[in-house]
Amino acid sequence: MTVPGIDLPRLTAWMANHVPEAGEPLSVSLISGGRSNLTYLVEGRDRRVVLRRPPLGHVLPTAHDMRREWRVISALAPTPVPVPEPVAFCADEDVIGAPFYLMGYVEGAAVRTREELGEPAPEQARRLSERLAEVLAAIHAVDHREVGLEGFGRPDGYLARQLDRWCQQWERSKTADRPEYDRLVARLRERLPAASAGTLVHGDYRLDNTLVRLAPEPDILAVVDWEMSTLGDPLADLGLTLTYWQDPGDEERAAIPVAGDVTLAPGFLTAAEFAAHYAKVSGHDIEDLGFYVAFGNFKLAVIVEGIHARFRQGKTVGEGFEEIGSAVPVLIARAHRMLESA
């Protein structure tokens, strides 16, 4: 059996020494990956585990840091934040060609579309979306010092650094000059909050970065994909979550091909209801939420411009990338409108 990114004989030997309770790996299969970290299901003789490793090929030294992901799920394991069980970490690149870690298998589903969600009763969809807000609040309520995440990031100046980072990314990948982008950056810089609460932030929080169940009670079983986590402004997490959110009747948002339509399921909270529930359970003041949603649209515009640039260079795989560049000016315009409404 040959699986890209896995040296099965070496992995088998390493697991025998470090994870004997799993038993000999009987099969390894890719669950997801390609643009980001790779995730594999390892069927051991005695238990299932999941392996996470960086993407194949060259990556930047600070990107796709497996030790960082391992550190955060290990810190969160005893907290109310649901994460997969941390099983073992391997820094030895000779085993499979890169550092990796193993975590427990979670019997849940990552859902991005209404089709993947199925046809839950409206009250199930509502409760699932409430739980999504409650788990985000639980992440932001973690005392990072108490759980061993001191120094995991620098909360002071977080948004200013984020703005600079994504501006640099834009300059590396832009396919055209856009005056409205330049004006947006200037407006965001003028509106940056002077200070904010410093909490653990996920960095890419949305339903398809969790594992969920609907029965017997709708719940979030685990939050996954912690590669962008750090210490920062909690409302930046909320703003990005709402950037991906699609409300009924928002045809402009429906035409942006970067997120699924799961939030259109009958019973799902609207974006405004989700924000209100988060504010209720977290205690955070969301009066300036419009700025954070504008910032989320800015960030997503930069990401989409990068995808568009790779498509033009012939470096994307699959279909559906032909029109993605048209979403960039739409996201920039939405960001401007959010600043004006705020």
Please write down the HEC assignment for all residues of 168-237: HHHHHHCCCCCHHHHHHHHHHHHHCCCCCCCEEECCCCCHHHEEEECCCCCEEEEECCCCCCEEECHHHH
Residue 337 has pLDDT above 70, yes or no: yes
182 assigned to some structural domain: yes
Spatial separation of the C-alpha atoms in residues 72 and 47, rounded to whole Å: 23
Q: Is 131 helix (H, G, I), strand (E, B) or coil?
A: helix
- Do residues 243 and 293 share a domain? yes
| pTM of the entire predicted model | 0.92
Number of domains forming the structure of the chain: 2
| Residue that is last in its domain, among 70, 104, 138 | 104
- Do residues 170 and 289 share a domain? yes
Domain extent for 116:
109-341
Q: What is the CATH number of the domain that holds 296?
A: 3.90.1200.10
116 assigned to some structural domain: yes
Q: Which residues contact 319 (CB under 8 A, 6 or more apart)?
A: none
Confidence of residue 59 (pLDDT cuts 50, 70, 90): very low
Q: What is the pLDDT of residues 207-225, one digit of tens each?
A: 999 999 999 999 999 999 9
Q: What is the pLDDT of residues 225-265, one digit of tens each?
A: 998 999 999 999 999 999 999 999 998 988 887 778 999 99
In percent, the amount of the chain with pLDDT more than 90 equals 77
| Residue that is last in its domain, among 104, 133, 149 | 104
Q: Which two tokens stand for residue 310?
A: 């790779």
